[in-house]
Amino acid sequence: MQTPPDNPNIADIAPSGIVLTSYDKEHLVTYLRLLDANAEGADWREVARVVLHLDPEHDCDRVQKAFDSHLLRAKWMTEHGYLHLLRGGASA
């Protein structure tokens, strides 16, 4: 597997299906950073700025939805998605 980019573009909403996507593979570092920040109790606004490169002051509702969906997907990866990675699978 190729190394994912450090700062890929962020979609408004992360994938939510039960299949590992190419978006997920591209955002593995992002997901890990979100999980670390969440474990440390970091403020979501700061995490959105630093990790997602989104400005919550500019469009708070959109940014919070992006943050929430990506954190949810990051948690999914720890429970289910990693199995797909181990098997080498991802859909487009």
Model confidence over 27-63: pLDDT tens digits?
Answer: 999 999 999 999 999 999 999 999 999 999 999 999 9
Q: What is the pLDDT of residue 33?
A: 96
Residue 92 has pLDDT above 90, yes or no: no
Higher-confidence residue of 86 and 76: namely 76
Q: What CA–CA distances, in Å, run from 38 to 2, 22, 92?
A: 26, 24, 28
Specify the higher pLDDT residue, 87 or 5: 87
Mean pLDDT across the chain, nearest whole number? 88
- Closest by Cα among 20, 25, 19 to 5: 25
User: Is 73 within 8 Å of 16 (Cβ atoms)?
Assistant: yes
